[in-house]
Amino acid sequence: MFVYTVRASTLKFFGCIILCIAVLVLLLTLGQAQTVYASAGGREINYGGMKTNEDRVAFIEGFGIKVKTEPVTEESFTMPEDFDRVILGYNQIQKTQGLDLTKYTRKRVTHYSYEVTNYDHEGTVYVNLLVYRNRIIAADISSASDGGFVSSLTEFDTSKLK
């Protein structure tokens, strides 16, 4: 006959370990499913769920901006660990719409650039999106022409849209 005894302290120990593992699994699961929201101009913006090109185009068109359905550029790069003056300035624009690039240093992100078709401006205007794991981490509208501009999507002056 085999007899095995378990003390109450042993049960507490294994109970704590199981509880910790359950909490860790729960946190990891919720972290993956987290949707990124920000409030701008009295409305909530969902920056998550950008799995397809159609999702990204629909996101842009939610601001009243019409774009060509295929991106002009699509390129992946690793976000630098140390931000220079230009990236810090760009990050300030992103912070106005509830985004922050500092969370994504050394992460592989994808840049999508779409040509705007309904902006009354001389030269070409683009909407740029930086996406990490199906989440928009940066978004802007810009013109590269002389006297061009860069603006967050939430603070963009839509009065010049056709």
Q: How many CB atoms lie within 10 A of CB 53?
A: 14
The pLDDT tens digits for 26-66 are 555 555 434 444 544 556 788 999 999 999 999 999 999 99
What span, in angstroms and rounded, lies between the C-alpha atoms of 8 and 135?
47
Cβ atoms of residues 50 and 131 within 8 Å: yes
Distance of CA 132 to CAs 81, 93, 122, 123, 145, Å? 15, 18, 32, 29, 28
Q: How confident is the model at residue 137 (pLDDT cuts 50, 70, 90)?
A: very high
Burial 13-38 (b: 16+ CB within 10 A, else e): eeeeeeeeeeeeeeeeeeeeeeebee
User: Looking at the whole model, is its pTM more than 0.85?
Assistant: no
- Could you read off the pLDDT of 117-133 as tens digits, one per residue? 998 777 899 999 999 99
